Amino acid sequence: MDKLYVDEIKSLFLLDDFELKEKILSYHPYEISEALLELSKKERRRMYSILSPKEISYSISFLEIEDAFLLFNEMVPKYIVNIIQELDIDDAVDLMQELDESERAGYLKLMDAEHRENIKELLKYKDDTAGSIMNTEYINIDVTDTVATGMKKLLEQAVTSATIYTIYVTNKNDKLLGTLSLREMILARKNELIEEIMNKRVVSVETTKDQEEVAAIFMDYDFTSLPVVDKLNRLLGVITVDDVLDVIEEETLEDYSKFAAISDAEIDSDTETVLMGVKKRLPWLLVLSVLGFFTSTIIAQFEGTLDQIPTIALFMPMILGMAGNTGTQSLAVTVRGLNDGEFQTKASITKHLLREIGTGFMNGILIGIMLFGVTYLFLHLNHNPEAFKITQVVSLSIMLSLAVSTLSGALIPIIINSFKIDPAVASGPFVTMINDILALSVYFTLATMLIINTL
């Protein structure tokens, strides 16, 4: 994307401190954050000297955590701690979670008591759960309030609150009883009772809810915020849609990376090195090469067949490729379905597997018929004496291996999912390798049975 503002901001460094500060603060914090990464060390030092911790904290919250840490390396601890204290508490906790223990302890020590206690409290929640991404500042009014009192409380809490556009209604025990949008509040009459105008059907999540499921709820309901409660329905925090956008970005990247068998598909072109690339990819390749070698040992069982009819090697890559492709297709459909909450019952799983094997057979028959003609013509033109028999084996193998691979592409993620593991780990390459093994077995068995045994 065009990031003109980065060059604009860079050019401001000719100004004196006062003007520089004023001009820079007219940019959006996201834009300042992007510029920060592109500035020279010297220019960044100047930024730290003219911007207060609060002013720079807005930009820091837009950075990837690793990038924020890079900048922290250039700052004094007190400045860092002040920045962390100015961040929204969920962002502060995200940062603190990634620090090693001694650093975390050091920063906590430098904090004021209130921030220290709040952050410690939130650090207890497991990474990737609702508790870890929630914010503990929100607009909270009492169920017995009138609209006028509620509005007054809203104004008092508005400055620090993560969102002021949804108002949470609790009773004296902090139990979450209802919600109100700021719009409803503004449009209501001043003397109405909150209890009478609030929405009593509240969707909330517990602190332990997986963040991916939280994102799904935001998508389903088109929420801009969602309350987080404990087991007794006491309000503890809110999650806002901007945090969910981050979660979606993170989880999409994760799924995408797994699908391609790489630990992290994202690179920063400026800083990525060959070694980083090797580190992200080699472990997967090593595992896959072991699976790959396994295919060699299978073919070795059929070396006699290969010796007698070397021509069958010609069609191996095609059959393997087609088996891999159909497997990837049904894998994609099945993983997607599992993520969407399909296949909850045994009946629906059976139905899905039957449908997949049916789809595989149907595709296999159609592709098999097409390839029958092409293969026969090809072998016939090459004057192969076994043209007809080999053609039979190739077509039949395509048919069978398409059916088998389609089934395995659906079955593998369902099995993995039943162990409560994210089915996306059954990435494309793994399913392809397993289908290679299945397809080879089918092909060579058929070749041995139909050609060798009838010679």
Among positions 319-358, residues that touch a copy of itself (CB under 8 A) are 319-322, 324-326, 328-329, 331-333, 336-337, 340-343, 348, 351-352, 355-356, 358
Residues 155-174 touching a copy of itself, rule: CB under 8 A, are 155, 158-159, 164-165
Between CA 191 and CA 149 the distance in angstroms is: 9
219 binding a copy of itself? (CB under 8 A): yes
Identify which of residues 107 and 361 has a Cβ nearer to a copy of itself in the complex.
Answer: 361
295 binding a copy of itself? (CB under 8 A): yes
CB 278 within 8 A of CB 261: no
Amino acid at 86: E
CB of 87 to a copy of itself, least distance (A): 13
Identify which of residues 111 and 429 has a Cβ nearer to a copy of itself in the complex.
Answer: 429
Placement of tokens 């492709």 in the chain:
325
19 binding a copy of itself? (CB under 8 A): no
306 binding a copy of itself? (CB under 8 A): yes
Identify which of residues 103 and 254 has a Cβ nearer to a copy of itself in the complex.
Answer: 254
Between CA 324 and CA 148 the distance in angstroms is: 65
CB of 331 to a copy of itself, least distance (A): 7
CB of 404 to a copy of itself, least distance (A): 15
Between CA 253 and CA 280 the distance in angstroms is: 14
Identify which of residues 76 and 187 has a Cβ nearer to a copy of itself in the complex.
Answer: 187
222 binding a copy of itself? (CB under 8 A): yes
CB 52 within 8 A of CB 78: no
One of 10, 39, 48, 62 touching a copy of itself (CB under 8 A): 62
Strand 140-142 vs strand 166-170: parallel, antiparallel, or unpaired? parallel
Residues 183-202 touching a copy of itself, rule: CB under 8 A, are 183, 186-187, 200-201
CB 440 within 8 A of CB 320: yes
CB of 452 to a copy of itself, least distance (A): 13
CB 295 within 8 A of CB 440: yes
Please report, for residues 170, 225, 352, the alpha-carbon distance to residue 238 in angstroms, rounded to integers and kept in the order given: 13, 7, 38
Residues 260-279 touching a copy of itself, rule: CB under 8 A, are 260-262, 265-269, 272-275, 277-278
Contacts of residue 310, Cβ cutoff 8 Å, sequence gap at least 6: none
Q: What is the DSSP string of 330-379?
A: HHHHHHHHHHTT---SHHHHHHHHHHHHHHHHHHHHHHHHHHHHHHHHHH
CB of 428 to a copy of itself, least distance (A): 6
- Please tell me whether residue 166 adopts helix, strand or coil conformation: strand
Residue 227-266 contact track with a copy of itself, rule CB under 8 A, x = bound: --------------xx--xx-xx--xx-xxx-xxxx--xx
CB of 454 to a copy of itself, least distance (A): 20
CB of 273 to a copy of itself, least distance (A): 7
CB of 275 to a copy of itself, least distance (A): 8
Residues 138-157 touching a copy of itself, rule: CB under 8 A, are 154-155
Helix 387-418 and helix 346-381: axis angle, to 10°? Answer: 160
Q: What is the DSSP string of 217-245?
A: HHHHHT-SEEEEE-TT-BEEEEEEHHHHH
CB of 318 to a copy of itself, least distance (A): 4
Identify which of residues 111 and 162 has a Cβ nearer to a copy of itself in the complex.
Answer: 162
CB of 2 to a copy of itself, least distance (A): 8
Contacts of residue 326, Cβ cutoff 8 Å, sequence gap at least 6: 360, 363, 402, 405, 406, 409, 435
Identify which of residues 236 and 349 has a Cβ nearer to a copy of itself in the complex.
Answer: 349
Segment interacting with a copy of itself, rule: CB under 8 A, options 79-87, 106-114, 117-125, 371-379: 371-379
Identify which of residues 97 and 224 has a Cβ nearer to a copy of itself in the complex.
Answer: 224
167: left (phi over 0), alpha (psi -120 to 50) or beta: beta
Between CA 107 and CA 130 the distance in angstroms is: 24
Count of residues that interact with a copy of itself, criterion CB under 8 A? 120
- Please tell me whether residue 57 adopts helix, strand or coil conformation: helix
One of 11, 52, 289, 350 touching a copy of itself (CB under 8 A): 289
Residues 74-93 touching a copy of itself, rule: CB under 8 A, are none
125 binding a copy of itself? (CB under 8 A): no
Q: How many CB atoms lie within 10 A of CB 268?
A: 11
Segment interacting with a copy of itself, rule: CB under 8 A, options 68-76, 97-105, 110-118, 428-436: 428-436
420: left (phi over 0), alpha (psi -120 to 50) or beta: left
